[in-house]
A = this chain, B = another copy of it.
Amino acid sequence: MSGGAHTGSILTIDLDAVAANYQTLRDISGSAEVAAVVKANAYGLGVDRVAPVLNDAGCRTFFVANIAEAYELRSLIPPAEIHVLDGLMGQPPERFVARNLRPVLNTPDEIETWRSVSAESDRPLPADIQIDTGMARLGLTADEAETLLARPDWNREMAIDCLISHLACADEPGNPMNARQRDAFAKLMPRFEARRASLSASSGMFLGEDFHFDLTRAGVALYGVNPTPDTANPMAQVIQIQGEILQVRFVDTPQTVGYGATHRVTRPSKIATIPIGYADGYPRSLGNTGIAVIGGRKVPVVGRVSMDLTTVDVTDVPDELARPGALVDLLGPGNDLDDTAARAGTIGYEILTRLGSRFERRYIENGNAGPA
């Protein structure tokens, strides 16, 4: 939107960190191949910039949510192996065939549709099948799987690439549901005669080798979210959000700050206003709760976050640091994605995918920072 004009808000995206995270996830995945999940515009960070970096890092297999995302990715990385998690979505299967996309077939009907188009093709067409082992969201139920497998010719004229399932509680290593899902998956796996098996996304990779199977699916960890919330984050941080101070206000008792007058100053205070608000994806729930960093010092967000503006208390920051034009970190070192999400009452995934379009986006690549 900015057309080169100034918005006073900067989102820096470290593509080198994305590449490093991909390597970390390869190391943890052992002999399993690591696919990259780049749905939702690469979790909000820009699939046009992220996917080529992953491709350069050696990633050959990608997952997206729907066919629209698959079309975009196909144009970005022509030779990519692209899997579509939401399946056929009632679309003509020819649309998938024409662009060499592999739908994740989630229902008996989808499997039958694909089998029939595959039968008419000159070669068996590859697709994935998802079986549900505990999400109750997408994929065949245990009963549907049994009914399907009871038909001797169910897969005769199609090529089952990945058998897929998805863990519900992978970020809780002690949750017995993980082993139950793994065992249910492992038991069904050989019966599907799929080329490969894939169970784990980011957190699942850290549950141990018996969760890796043939292909792991690296999603949110690529983008810096901690896949192991109970222990230190093994991933490099990818994003930083900064705003330029518009104005520093001197406020004294009994004045209040912001909508609803929710923050009442208790001493002579300096309040800095920053042109980032919830329209930019800085959650409104961070009002009177968020943290900003200026000159290495943590300062509190005071008052409600408004649509385009956030106010922080810089009373204890020297004037030469807290001045109009100075940059304030709303998310960055010392106040990272997971910290910010926790304060906002959500998870890093939601912060990432709801980042707004008004930021000046700067990408760091091969050690160099530059505009988008």
Q: Chain A interface (Cβ within 8 Å of chain B)? A: 1-3, 5-8, 39-41, 43-44, 65-72, 85-87, 89-91, 95, 106-107, 109, 132, 134-138, 141, 143, 168-169, 172, 177, 244, 246-247, 249-251, 255-261, 265, 271, 273, 275, 278-279, 281, 283-285, 303, 306-309, 311, 324-325, 345-347, 349-350, 353-354, 356-358
Contact = CB atoms under 8 A, between A and B. Distances in A.
A136 B303 contact: yes
Contacts of A250: 141, 143
A308 B65 contact: yes
B246 A89 contact: yes
A7 B256 contact: no
Contacts of A85: 308
Given A106-B246, A168-B256, A284-B347, 16 more contacts: A3-B68, A6-B67, A40-B279, A65-B275, A66-B358, A68-B358, A86-B246, A86-B308, A87-B246, A89-B244, A136-B258, A137-B257, A138-B247, A141-B250, A283-B350, A284-B350
Contact of A285 (B143, B275, B278, B345): B345
A309 to B, nearest CB: 6
A311 to B, nearest CB: 6
Contacts of A247: 106-107, 138
B353 A279 contact: yes
Contacts of A137: 249, 257-258, 271, 273, 303, 306, 309, 311
28 contacts: A3-B68, A5-B95, A6-B89, A6-B91, A7-B67, A8-B89, A39-B279, A40-B307, A40-B356, A43-B279, A44-B279, A65-B275, A66-B275, A86-B275, A86-B308, A89-B244, A89-B246, A134-B256, A136-B255, A136-B271, A137-B257, A169-B260, A169-B261, A177-B261, A279-B353, A279-B354, A283-B350, A307-B349
Nearest to A39: B308
A354 to B, nearest CB: 5
A279 B85 CA distance: 15
B89 A168 contact: no
Contacts of A90: 6, 8, 244, 324-325
A255 B168 CA distance: 12
Contacts of A65: 275, 307-308
Contact of A141 (B2, B69, B249): B249
Given A177-B261, A285-B345, A8 B66 contact: yes
Nearest to A66: B7
A204 B155 CA distance: 65
A353 B307 contact: yes
Contact of A249 (B3, B136, B325): B136
Contacts of A68: 1-3, 5-7, 358
Which of A109, A244, A308: most chain B CB closer than 10 A? A308
A1 to B, nearest CB: 6
A69 B71 CA distance: 30
